[in-house]
Amino acid sequence: MWRGAAVRVLRGGGAGSPRTASGTAAAQLRRRLESELEDIRGAGTWKSERVIASRQGPHLRLAGGGAGEYGAAGSALGLFPRRDARASSLSLPAGILNFCANNYLGLSSHPEVIRAAVEALEKFGAGLSSVRFICGTQSIHKDLEEKIARFHQREDAILYASCFDANAGIFEALLTPEDAVLSDELNHASIIDGIRLCKANKYRYKHMDMQDLEAKLQDAQKHRLRLVATDGAFSMDGDIAPLREICQLAQKYDALVFIDECHATGFLGPNGRGTDELLGVMDKVTIINSTLGKALGGAAGGYTTGPKPLIDLLRQRSRPYLFSNSLPPAVVGCASKALDLLMESNAIAQSMAAKTQRFRSKMTAAGFSISGKDHPICPVMLGDARLAAVMAEDMLNRGIYVIGFSYPVVPKGKARIRVQISAVHSDEDIDRCVEAFTEVGRKHGALP
């Protein structure tokens, strides 16, 4: 391990020893990195990764101990039918109860989703070793794009390796220095980065503040085209963008509306189409970016859906699309099956909504303040960073896996524990979580 001395090549020699670069620059870099890492530790913002030894689900086994994979609710919803061999591990009272995945609909370990992935893997292979426009497009990619467009009731769709890529690719391809983009200040990092990459005039409006957006739109009238960009649902607060008002302003000031639906696709709105369906503005939002890596099976992948000429242009100009490998068939198989399940029925989404309601109302009755409204992201607002950290730790000691967030991820003084509800949580899981919060809250003074 580095101790500040110059680095020797193949220290310790022999197979298996780390090969380290020699020279002053490498040594300097190493010193700088170590110091930066120390700063992160010192600031208390170090992010460690818990290692999971089971599939994604309401019940997890952490590496080194714990219990099984699936909840009884999964079975009740038909998510894990009894004929599935793994269903023998249902109704697990012990182990880690997981409340921090974006597995909103519980499809990440759905047997039909997994089967679809295996079939796609066998039929279409491990991957394409190619970008889409060289020899990386298979029939399943075209089918999935068509399905996504149909799901969102848009003209066309384009796949990316992730929604981060979709956000990185769209603004630069679409907007020029003649145009303007108006972005909510709390938009996801990938939107912020995507906007940084484009040469359009940039306006940042206060979070969900329609007066500020209107003022910025007035200012932006001098530009050729205006694009308002917002998360549909904000992942730190579980709040939903006021899309009706945004669309009204967009109409008034002749602007386009772009939404990132990563925390909405598949479950918000009567048919799970997203925030635009929930708020009745499907015909007013022009562009949607979303992920296949959360509610839609949770494997990976992202997309843009919208007008056909825009999608055609992205295929020609969008750099993360043009210069990155096409989505692996197994991943395409997962997402495609997830969409089939959602287009067949909205029962899973409704079940998640009912469980969200149960958690929010029981926690509020217990005396906690939960940010947002009707969204499965349920931030338990605590204020103090240390309180959030110790309570999250104590929740895990009681077998409940939740994560505390504090500055700089959220504003100073607004530390919280974020709870995420899934369709595969049972009512008992929810109640156990509320009971644990109540005990831990009393112990640490968050509740009287």
Q: How far is the CB of 392 from ligand PLP (least distance, A)?
A: 19
In sequence order, what are the residues at sequence separation of 6 or more whose Cβ sits closer than 8 angstroms to the Cβ of residue 430?
355, 358, 359, 362, 421
Q: How far is the CB of 302 from ligand PLP (least distance, A)?
A: 4
Q: Does residue 408 have a cis peptide bond before it, meaning omega lies within 30 degrees of 0?
A: yes
163 near ligand PLP, rule: CB under 6 A: yes
Among the residue ranges 46-54, 193-201, 260-268, 273-281, the one whose residues contact ligand PLP (CB under 6 A): 260-268
> What is the x/- site pattern for ligand PLP, positions 194-233, by CB under 6 A?
-------------------------------------x--
> Could you tell me the smallest distance in angstroms from the CB atom of residue 403 to ligand PLP?
13
Smallest gap, in angstroms, from Cβ of residue 229 to ligand PLP? 11
Q: Where are the beta strands (DSSP E) in 232-336?
A: 233-234, 239-240, 256-260, 287-291, 302-306
Place of tokens 């309401």: 58
Among 269, 302, 306, 320, indicate the residue that binds ligand PLP (CB under 6 A): 302
- Residue 72, both tokens: 């009884």
Buried-exposed string 382-419: b where 16+ CB fall within 10 A, e elsewhere? bebbebbbbbbebbbeebbbbbbbbeeebeeebbbbbb
Options 95, 269, 293, 298; binder of ligand PLP; rule CB under 6 A: 293
Residue 400: which of 421, 383, 371 has the closest Cα? 421
Torsion, Cα of 188, 192, 197, 198 (10° steps):
110
Residue 91 falls in the annotated catalytic set = no
- Tally of helices (H runs) and strands (E runs) in the chain: 16, 15
* 188 scored as a contact of ligand PLP (CB under 6 A): yes
Q: Is 265 in the site for ligand PLP (CB under 6 A)?
A: no
Q: Kindly indicate which of the ranges 119-127, 162-170, 171-179, 392-400 contains the residues binding ligand PLP, using the contact rule CB under 6 A.
A: 162-170
Out of 98, 108, 109, 162, name the contact with ligand PLP by CB under 6 A. 162
Nearer to ligand PLP, 68 or 298 (CB): 298
Q: Which is nearer to ligand PLP, 377 or 395 (CB)?
A: 377
The 3-state secondary structure of 83-97 reads CCHHHHHCCCCCCEE
Residue 296 CB-density burial (10 A; 0-12 exposed, 13-18 middle, 19+ buried): buried
Q: Where are the alpha helices (DSSP H) in 86-209?
A: 111-124, 132-135, 139-152, 163-174, 189-197
Q: State in angstroms the smallest separation of the CB of 299 from ligand PLP.
A: 10
Out of 188, 216, 223, 294, the active site residue is 294
Minimum CB–partner distance for residue 5 and ligand PLP (Å): 40
Report, in Å, the least distance between residue 39 CB and ligand PLP: 25
Span from 5-13, 161-169, 197-205, 218-226 in contact with ligand PLP (CB under 6 A): 161-169
By the 10 Å C-beta count (0-12 exposed, 13-18 middle, 19+ buried), 362 is classed as: middle
User: Residue 417's closest CA among 437, 431, 397, 402?
Assistant: 402
Q: Which residues of 33-42 are buried (b: 16+ CB within 10 A; e: fewer)?
A: eeeeeeeeee
238 binds ligand PLP (CB under 6 A): no
Question: Beta partners for 230?
Answer: 259
Window of 12-20, 119-127, 258-266, 314-322 that interacts with ligand PLP by CB under 6 A = 258-266
Q: Does 184 bind ligand PLP (CB under 6 A)?
A: no
Q: Is 294 annotated in the active site?
A: yes
From the list 73, 195, 262, 341, which residue makes contact with ligand PLP (rule: CB under 6 A)? Answer: 262
- Hey, what are 211's tokens? 């007066």
Catalytic residue among 75, 183, 190, 235: 235
275 binds ligand PLP (CB under 6 A): no
Q: Which parts of this chain interact with ligand PLP (CB under 6 A)?
A: 162-164, 167, 188, 190, 231, 235, 260, 262-263, 291, 293, 302
Q: Which residues are catalytic?
A: 235, 263, 294
